[in-house]
């Protein structure tokens, strides 16, 4: 079980690293830039969570598998695209949704182990799931996609709330994890499929 969790965590790292590498490619960065953006996207959210929670050592500080997996995913992406294989957008979005589901539930769980209030645990789940992508977009000089796209962080807040609720109802740990991950995954896939969006808040600039 622990082993399975570790492997899916690495899978999430790989997926987010690919999205980082693709964004770096859209900005015509050099190979080092691709590597950095991939690593920041994959590990940034978890690092921010651990630093704010004072949860040391940060995962990739003690175990260099994380950096290795993120780097390999980035290099693999560049090679794949160079061989003119188009990126399968839909497949990437589904993988990304899986990574989001995993990171969100994992982040919420880490926060709960520090016995923080519920709202803090939800925020920590969201930070783990989305902050890496926000850092990617900020460094690449874009308004973060998650604020503009279909229901994204909402999926992750929903999953986080479901996880906390199930744990408090004394649901077995692996059941709560599974259901909460499904909630994130299905919400996100539904949002992609039917292009669901939250209402926008428009404000004219009167400065």
Query: Where does this chain bind its own copies (CB under 8 A)?
Result: 21-22, 24-34, 36-37, 39, 47, 51-54, 56-58, 60-64, 67-68, 78, 81, 89, 114, 116-120, 123, 134, 138-144, 146-148, 152-154, 157, 197-206
Least Cβ distance, residue 182 to its own copies (angstroms): 21
34 or 167: CB nearest its own copies: 34
134 or 166: CB nearest its own copies: 134
Q: Which of 103, 107, 133, 129 is nearest to 120 (CA)?
A: 107
Least Cβ distance, residue 102 to its own copies (angstroms): 20
Q: What is the dihedral of CA 176, 178, 184, 186, to 10 degrees?
A: -130
Least Cβ distance, residue 9 to its own copies (angstroms): 17
Maximum C-alpha span of the chain: 56
The 10 Å Cβ neighbour count of residue 207 is 2
4 or 32: CB nearest its own copies: 32
Q: Which of 160, 4, 186 is nearest to 168 (CA)?
A: 160
Least Cβ distance, residue 93 to its own copies (angstroms): 12
Least Cβ distance, residue 143 to its own copies (angstroms): 5
Least Cβ distance, residue 20 to its own copies (angstroms): 12
175 or 198: CB nearest its own copies: 198
1 or 91: CB nearest its own copies: 91
Q: State the Cα–Cα distance between residues 95 and 6, nearest whole angstrom.
A: 17
Contacts with 80 (C-beta within 8 Å, 6 or more apart), sequence order: 87
Judged by DSSP in three states, 168 sits in helix
In the chain the first and final C-alpha atoms are separated, in Å, by 56
Q: For Cα atoms 94, 96, 97, give the angle at the middle one, nearest 5 degrees.
A: 65
32 or 91: CB nearest its own copies: 32
Contacts with 47 (C-beta within 8 Å, 6 or more apart), sequence order: 58, 60
């Amino acid at each position: 079980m622990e082993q399975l969790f570790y492997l899916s965590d690495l899978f999430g790292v790989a997926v987010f690293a690919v999205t980082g590498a693709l964004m770096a490619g859209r900005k015509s960065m050099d190979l080092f830039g691709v590597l950095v953006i991939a690593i920041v996207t994959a590990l940034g959210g978890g690092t921010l969570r651990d630093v704010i929670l004072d949860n040391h050592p940060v995962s990739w500080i003690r175990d260099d598998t994380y950096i290795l997996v993120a780097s390999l995913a980035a290099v693999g992406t560049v090679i794949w695209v160079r061989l003119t294989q188009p990126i399968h957008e839909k497949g990437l979005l589904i993988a990304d949704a899986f990574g989001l589901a995993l990171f969100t539930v994992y982040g919420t769980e880490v926060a709960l182990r520090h016995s923080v209030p519920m709202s803090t645990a939800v925020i920590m789940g969201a930070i783990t799931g989305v902050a890496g992508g926000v850092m990617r977009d900020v460094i690449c000089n874009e308004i973060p996609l998650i604020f503009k796209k279909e229901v994204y962080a909402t999926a992750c807040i929903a999953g986080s709330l479901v996880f906390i609720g199930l744990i408090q109802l004394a649901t077995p740990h692996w059941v709560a994890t599974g259901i909460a991950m499904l909630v994130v995954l299905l919400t996100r896939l539904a949002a992609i499929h039917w292009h669901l969006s939250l209402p926008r808040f428009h404000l004219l600039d009167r400065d």
